[in-house]
Amino acid sequence: MSEELKYLNLMKNVLSNGIKRIDRTNTGTLSLFGQSFRLNVSNSFPLLTTKKIYWKGVVEELLFFISGKTDTKILEDKNVNIWKGNTSREFLDKRKLFNYKEGEYGPNYGYNWRYFGKKYILINENSINDDKGIDQLNEAINLIKTDPFSRRILVSAWNPKVLDEIPLPSCHYCYQFYVDDDKLSILVNMRSCDIFLGLPFNIASYSLLLYMIAHITNKQPYEIIFMLGDAHIYLNHIDQCNEQLLRDMRDFPKLSFNRIITNIDDFKYEDIKLENYNPHSIIKADMAI
């Protein structure tokens, strides 16, 4: 089976069998619980071809997560506006985060990857906090190198203690690595999965993370597995899904790096080389906020 077809079959299943549910955004969804799929990424990079994926956004957001920073204006300055809706003044105020500046997303994703448990200091404060927290990402990398059979090569973005400090708590909340000789795989857990807009982006982002960590640990990227809690299609995305399902699949692109890198913090946008990406045109849809 084509790797892209696995994603499209998930979409078909939710369209055909999903249960109508009200959601936080009041948009409405078709939803199934507990879906999963796995993609072999050893010979190609799973950037969907049945619609064009926003590659610059994928790369810049992942580099932002890896940095552990919390000011999404850093992305906006690069003309990547994917977090703008969920860190707007209106959205922050709705979450009662009146002391956050616009663009601030709090102790979320990358902050938890790099500083788990560290007390969060607002961007506009000058407080000093000597507690470094736990750098889960580097600990996982070190385990891949030194204890590859460990069952604890895991990074969590879900900290129940600080959920009230986060505008949008992590949808992809945990990932785990598995080493088999020279092959490296990743298992990604999601509590909430927007199949049309979000999931293609997540597939590309975590595949890129897998490639990056395989590169610095001298492994080969092998498989990415997704475990989805509430897997849903928003009701205002149904027409777009049906359009995508009519399109033929094309070959996935290839991904490589332009130089040898040994530290996860040293990757830059220009280091990442994507070749032979020939997708169909973009299919526009509104993000539910």
**Number of CB atoms found within 10 A of residue 46's CB:** 23
- Residue in 171, 174, 193, 241 annotated catalytic: 171
Question: Where do the structural domains in the chain lie, given as residue ranges?
Answer: 1-39, 53-184+250-283
Q: Reduced to 3 states, what is the DSSP secondary structure of residue 180?
A: strand
Please say whether the dihedral angle defined by the alpha carbons of residues 153, 156, 160 and 165, taken in this order, is positive or negative: positive
pLDDT tens by residue, the chain, 289 residues: 689 999 999 999 999 999 999 999 999 999 999 999 999 999 999 999 999 999 999 999 999 999 999 999 999 999 999 999 999 999 999 999 999 999 999 999 999 999 999 999 998 887 777 788 999 999 999 999 999 999 999 999 999 999 999 999 999 999 999 999 999 999 999 999 999 999 999 999 999 999 999 999 999 999 999 999 999 999 999 999 999 999 999 999 999 999 999 999 999 999 999 999 999 999 999 999 9
CB 176, CB 187: distance < 8 Å: yes
Superfamily, domain 53-184+250-283: Thymidylate synthase/dCMP hydroxymethylase domain (3.30.572.10)
Measured at the alpha carbon of residue 146, what is the angle toward residues 141 and 150, in degrees to the nearest 5?
A: 80
In tens, the pLDDT along 82-102 reads 999 999 999 999 999 999 999
Reported pTM? 0.97
Active site residue 174: no
pLDDT digits (tens, 9 = 90+) for 214-226: 999 999 999 999 9
Distance CA 69, CA 221 (A): 26
Are 205 and 58 in contact by the 8 Å Cβ rule? The answer is yes
CA-nearest of 114, 109, 74, 105 to 264 is 114
